Chain A
Amino acid sequence: MWGFQILEAPTLCSHSQLIGEDYMSSSTLTTKGTEPPATGPRVSTTPRHHRTRHAESRGAWILLAPYLALFLVAAAIPIGYAFWIALQKAPTLVNPASGFGGIDSFITVITDYRFSGTFINIFSVMIVWLPLMMIGIVGLALLVHASPGRFGSTMRFFYFIPGALSGIANFVLWVYLLHPTQSPLAPLWQEVGFGSLKEIVTDSNMPMILTGMLFFQGVGTWIIVVNGGLNGIPDEIFEAAKIDGANAWDLAWHIKLPLIRPWIGYAALMNLAYGFQLFLEPYLLRQISSGAIAGEWAPTQLGYAFAFTNRNFPAAAALSIILLVITLSIGVVIVMKSGLFGDEKEKKR
């Protein structure tokens, strides 16, 4: 139903990334054009100019005020508060008073017997999932790009549909797929010797199961992002390559792939950061496996346990800060180095 109308659109758009990306590519290409010529009067020091600059600055901050307020409430203050909490002592039954504890809570977290395990778990998934994800994204995006017309856009739409089932809906879908008797894949599961959900959802199968869930849910969106990058390549480049005798394979391997490297890097880093914050899937897999999966399988779950099971808020805050530092570092690399957000405009100012 919702598909058919957007199939006609030049770029399918029903997800944040893809619109962002499309706008993004257009912006980096157009800002040069729309930017007014950098004229001298900016540095002028006449009193009148000072006044307008002042009015402009004040206007800007008034316009930013609601956003700034939400930024404080939903990001800055909780981060600062988490830092402060992390430096407190956890109250215990013997000594209910809390106070300044220095880095004790960080030591508690890092020396927790589950801490390193949660990161090993995450890496065990990423080692399977990230390469498959990147091959899937780039491979399918190139295939879609090599198929102009309605066939290509129909396929792209089909690849995107699972992405619309995000979060819990994707999870329930996978419970259905993994169920050893009720799934359409049931014959396969029984062939391999899985008789119950508990036999399928085990620690050793976690990398495969999570890879399946994350790939299914995420690949379509990223195909569209990378496809947006491919669509930004001027046709003349392909024409020139064809005149030089390049076939479809040469085009994909030697021309398209190097040109979309920024998008590939962006996708890889975003997915890497995503891996560190997995929560929903392992949390719910524990629930359907009658506890076969540890309750503190992922780092976020360990933080959740510190906060809600142990009521050790300093430790929960310390773990959040560790995760925050990791994902923020990846974020800084994405924003500064991917080349997708870097606007020449900024440097000109």
Chain B
Amino acid sequence: MSNSAPNVVGAKHWTLGRIARITVMVVIAAAFILPIIGFIAMAFRSQEGVLAGTDGFLGLGGMSWDNVVFSWSQINGFGPGDGGLFTRWVGNSLVVAVIGGVLALVAALPAGYALARLRFRGRKVMLFATLLAMVMPNTVLVIPLFLEVNAIGAVGQLWPVAVIMGFFPFGTYLVYIHFMTTMPQELVEAARIDGLSEIATFFYVALPISKQVVALVAFFSFVANWTNFFLPLALLTSSQENKTISIGIQELIGASPLFNATVAAGLDVKLYMPQLALATFLSMIPLLIVFLTAQRFLIRGQTVGAVKG
């Protein structure tokens, strides 16, 4: 790290406090990072290597592409007939996460703008409800949501999951803050004087300056949807074909001989730790892609947020 480099403005000294601070921080960072490195390495190892214990530090010595190919054949072979459930589940996750994200955007953009820049009766109530829904843990609502979806007979189908995911109060809050900080009220007044309707002002004045927050809302809602567990568990468990990947991985765990020898004995595929690690690693890749795509906007979002100085 750059701390020991000679400093032109005035050399810093390695005081006792400084050494202690840096040591504590580095040790904690190692405790956070090493397990993850070991876990990723696990995805590239073989069950034989794991059992033999000969793969060296964190198992890094036992990594090979052949192991990945074999593990993938096991993961992909899971399911009735020739398997293929894993890719099906990833596809389902993509469907609900993307539709949920699009709905979140369609709802959050106009709503956040209206809350930030328009005056109307009920505004405070809506804002309060949004904040409350935002800070409330979302699993509390899952059983009521299940009862609702059950009442219309749509349990086991993907569309209710996507629609429910579309309700994303944090997105509305982000848009609200975005217009609060980046769009002066004067701009709205000017548009009004020019004869634009409230709706037209949103489409022609507000929307063109919200690329930033579109990326933010899309990113956060996609991540939230992708990692959601309890909602798909309650709504989709009844349909093997329609599960999402988060609850799919739970099923892979349940089929592993590590935890359930009886179930695993009846399966053609063997899902040991390397296979479970690989399945988890693969299930994270869409999140990684979304992050890399949104990153440019996420950083610029910071500079916009930095007007506070």
- Partner-B contacts on A (CB < 8 A): 1-2, 5-6, 8-11, 13-16, 19-20, 22-27, 29-31, 34-36, 52-53, 55-64, 66-71, 73-75, 77-79, 81-82, 85, 140, 143-144, 146-147, 149-151, 154-155, 158-159, 161-162, 164-169, 172-173, 175-177, 179, 181-182, 184, 197, 216, 220, 232, 247-249, 270, 273-274, 276-277, 279-280, 284, 287-288, 290, 300, 303-304, 307-308, 313, 316-317, 319-320, 323-324, 327-328, 331-332, 334-335, 341, 346, 349
A182 engages B50 (CB within 8 Å): yes
Mind listing 23 A-B residue pairs with CB under 8 Å? A5-B299, A6-B298, A10-B303, A13-B302, A23-B178, A25-B308, A27-B180, A35-B185, A59-B114, A60-B120, A61-B120, A64-B126, A74-B166, A144-B25, A147-B21, A150-B2, A158-B32, A173-B280, A220-B32, A248-B17, A288-B258, A304-B234, A323-B140
B131 engages A335 (CB within 8 Å): yes
B181 engages A79 (CB within 8 Å): no
- Bound-state CA distance A64–B130 (Å) is 12
Residues of B contacting A77 with CB < 8 Å? 148
Which 4 pairs of residues, A with B, have the shortest CB-CB distance?
A: A59-B198, A67-B111, A74-B167, A82-B144
Contact of A19 among B144, B174, B259, B291 (CB under 8 A): B174
Residues of A contacting B36 with CB < 8 Å? 161-162, 165, 173
Contact of A2 among B139, B259, B292 (CB under 8 A): B292
Known: A63-B110, A307-B143, A335-B128. A13 touches B25 (CB 8 A): no
Interface residues of chain B: helix, strand, loop or mixed (majority): helix
A151 engages B38 (CB within 8 Å): no
Known: A67-B108, A279-B230, A288-B253. A56 touches B302 (CB 8 A): no
B177 engages A24 (CB within 8 Å): yes
- Bound-state CA distance A71–B128 (Å) is 13
A184 engages B34 (CB within 8 Å): yes
A66 engages B111 (CB within 8 Å): yes
B181 engages A34 (CB within 8 Å): yes
- Bound-state CA distance A31–B126 (Å) is 19
A290 engages B260 (CB within 8 Å): yes
Nearest to B111 among chain A residues (CB) is A67
A172 engages B170 (CB within 8 Å): no
The answer to the question of B69 belonging to the interface, with a C-beta cut-off of 8 Å to chain A, is: no
- Bound-state CA distance A158–B166 (Å) is 31
Known: A59-B199, A67-B110, A216-B32. A172 touches B181 (CB 8 A): no
Q: Mark B283-303, 1 if CB is under 8 A from A, else 0.
A: 110011001100100110111
Nearest to B50 among chain A residues (CB) is A182
Known: A24-B177, A162-B36, A177-B35. A279 touches B229 (CB 8 A): yes
- Partner-A contacts on B (CB < 8 A): 1-3, 17, 21-22, 24-26, 28-29, 32-36, 38-39, 42, 50, 53, 58-59, 103, 106-108, 110-111, 113-115, 118-121, 123-124, 126-129, 131-133, 135-148, 150-151, 163-164, 166-167, 169-170, 172-174, 177-178, 180-181, 184-186, 189, 192, 197-199, 201-202, 216, 220, 223-224, 227-230, 234, 246, 249-250, 253-254, 258-260, 273, 276-277, 280, 283-284, 287-288, 291-292, 295, 298-299, 301-303, 305-308
With both chains docked as a complex, state the minimum distance between the C-beta of A39 and any C-beta of chain B, in angstroms. Answer: 11
- Bound-state CA distance A217–B288 (Å) is 17
- Bound-state CA distance A313–B147 (Å) is 8
Residues of B contacting A324 with CB < 8 Å? 140-141, 144
Known: A63-B114, A249-B17. A331 touches B132 (CB 8 A): yes
- Bound-state CA distance A241–B114 (Å) is 43
B3 engages A166 (CB within 8 Å): no
- Bound-state CA distance A165–B227 (Å) is 9
Nearest to A85 among chain B residues (CB) is B147
B119 engages A273 (CB within 8 Å): no
Known: A11-B302, A26-B307, A176-B42. A184 touches B58 (CB 8 A): yes
A26 engages B306 (CB within 8 Å): yes
